[in-house]
A = this chain, B = another copy of it.
Amino acid sequence: MFKLIHSDKNSQARLGKLSTTHGDIETPCFMPVGTHGTIKGLYPKDVKESGAEIMLSNTYHLFLRPGMNVIRKAGGLHKFISWEKPILTDSGGYQVFSLALLRKLSDKGVEFQSHIDGAKHFITPEDIIDIQSELGSDIMMPLDECVHYPCARAQAEVAMKRTINWAKRSRSHKDSLRKHGPNKAQFLFGIVQGATYEDLRNICAQELTDIDFDGYSIGGVSVGEPSNLIYNILKITAELLPAEKPRYAMGIGYPQDILEAVERGVDMFDCVVPTRYGRNGTAFTSTGKVKIGNSPYIEDFKPLDEKCSCYTCSNFSRAYLRHLFNAQEMLGLTLLSLHNVHFFLNLAKGIREAIKVNQFKEFKNDFLGRYLSD
C-alpha cells in the first residue's frame, strides 16, 4: 500500500508512494480540501491539471448535506462529485467539535445537532466507518476526540483514551464489515491525539501502532497553539510512528508549516487555506503573499507569480485580477483559488524533487528565503 522510496540524507524527510484503487499518490503530498464535495470554485479537471493526486472531503458535511441516501444512490462519492482520483475523508470528529450545536459526548459516541437545520443525530465510531464505507473514500479516518489549545492534561488524557478506544472499535468494525460500499479496498488510518503532552502522544502512538493501521494521522495540531509547539509535537509523534506507514498531519497548513513538518518526517497534508485565501483576495507566491485588492497592483501588469505556470499566471495580470476583485467578479476569486491550489501542489512537487536528490534542506531554505523576504 505504502512504499518508502527514499529518505533524505540530511533530515527526516521521506519520499514515498501510496497506492489506492483510484490511483497512486506520491508523497509528500498536499490534498486540496473539498468540504461539500467541491474544492471551492474550481472545476475538478483544473484541480487535476494542477497536479492534485488526491483530495480530501468532509464526512460530517456530506452526511448532513446532501445526506447518505443521495450519495449511496449516486454510486458513492467519487461518482457523485465526478472525481476519479483518490479521496481521503475525515471522520467528522473535528467538525462535530467545532461546528455542531449542543454536542453530548460519551464513550458510546457523540450526540449533536446539525449546524444547518438543528436536527439531532447520535453517531458511534461504527457509524462513522459505515458512512465512509458508503462514501467509498480511499482513506478513512476513525472517529476521534480533538481538543483545543490550551487543554488541561486531565482533559487531554480522557480525549486521548477515548480516541484509542474508538480507534479499536473502528478497526474491528471495519474488519467485520460484510456489506461494503462502492470501494472495498479502503484504508483506515489511526489518529494520534494527546494535545501538547509528549507522554500522552507517546502512549497514543504506541497503542495505535499495536492496533496496526494502514497509516497514521497526527491530529489535534494547529488548533491554536504556537508554531514551536506544533513543530515539536509533529517531530516527537512522527518519531513514534512506524517508518513503513504514511504519516498525515491533519489541517497543516501554511507553506512554512508544511516544510517544517516534512523535515520532521510527515508525508501528507491538507488545508483549506489555498481556496479560503483565494476567496478573500490573497494569493500565495514564491515571494510571499499578495493582497490583490491593494493599490500597488492597479497598474501592475506582471503575473501574480513570475515563477508560476498555472492558468492564472500564464494569462492574467495582477492589474486584471485586482480589477476583478474590485468589481466583485467571481472570476477573480476562482483565478486566485486556482493559483493558490497550484502553488501548494507545486510546493509539494518541489519538496519531492528535492528529497530525491537529498537536497531538502537547501530547498526549504531557498524557498523560505524568498517566501519570507517581504
Interface of A with B (CB < 8 Å)?
36-38, 40-45, 65-66, 69-70, 73-74, 80-82, 298-299, 301, 311, 315-317, 319-320, 322-324, 326-327, 329-331, 333-335
Does B80 lie within 8 Å of A43, measured CB to CB? no
Does B81 lie within 8 Å of A36, measured CB to CB? no
| Chain B residues within an 8 Å CB radius of A327 | 36, 65
Contact of A320 among B41, B81, B326 (CB under 8 A): B81
CA A319 to CA B70, docked complex, whole Å: 8
Does B80 lie within 8 Å of A320, measured CB to CB? yes
A44-B315 contact, Cβ under 8 Å, with A37-B320, A74-B301: yes
CA A79 to CA B73, docked complex, whole Å: 46
A330-B331 contact, Cβ under 8 Å, with A70-B299, A74-B301, A74-B320: no
Residue of B with least CB distance to A322: B66
Residue of B with least CB distance to A44: B315
28 A-B pairs whose Cβ atoms sit less than 8 Å apart in the complex: A36-B323, A36-B324, A37-B324, A38-B329, A38-B331, A40-B329, A40-B330, A41-B334, A43-B311, A43-B331, A43-B334, A44-B315, A45-B311, A66-B298, A66-B323, A66-B326, A69-B299, A70-B323, A73-B299, A73-B319, A74-B319, A80-B317, A80-B323, A82-B315, A82-B320, A330-B333, A330-B334, A334-B334
CA A81 to CA B332, docked complex, whole Å: 11
Residue of B with least CB distance to A69: B299
Does A324 lie within 8 Å of B38, measured CB to CB? yes
Interface centre among A80, A326, A331 (most CB of B within 10 A): A331
CA A78 to CA B316, docked complex, whole Å: 11
Contact of A319 among B80, B323, B331 (CB under 8 A): B80
CA A298 to CA B315, docked complex, whole Å: 38
Residue of B with least CB distance to A36: B327
| Chain B residues within an 8 Å CB radius of A73 | 299, 301, 319
CA A81 to CA B331, docked complex, whole Å: 11
A323-B65 contact, Cβ under 8 Å, with A301-B73, A329-B36, A334-B330: yes
| Chain B residues within an 8 Å CB radius of A326 | 65-66
Contact of A42 among B36, B69, B74, B331 (CB under 8 A): B331
CA A69 to CA B42, docked complex, whole Å: 32
Residue of B with least CB distance to A279: B330
| Chain B residues within an 8 Å CB radius of A299 | 69-70, 73
Residue of B with least CB distance to A320: B80
Report the minimal beta-carbon distance from A93 to chain B, rounded to whole angstroms: 21
Interface centre among A37, A38, A301 (most CB of B within 10 A): A38
| Chain B residues within an 8 Å CB radius of A329 | 36, 38, 40
CA A36 to CA B322, docked complex, whole Å: 12
CA A323 to CA B57, docked complex, whole Å: 15
Residue of B with least CB distance to A275: B330
Report the minimal beta-carbon distance from A281 to chain B, rounded to whole angstroms: 14
| Chain B residues within an 8 Å CB radius of A320 | 37, 74, 80-82
A-B residue pairs, 3 tightest by C-beta: A41-B330, A82-B315, A66-B323
Report the minimal beta-carbon distance from A329 to chain B, rounded to whole angstroms: 5
Report the minimal beta-carbon distance from A317 to chain B, rounded to whole angstroms: 7
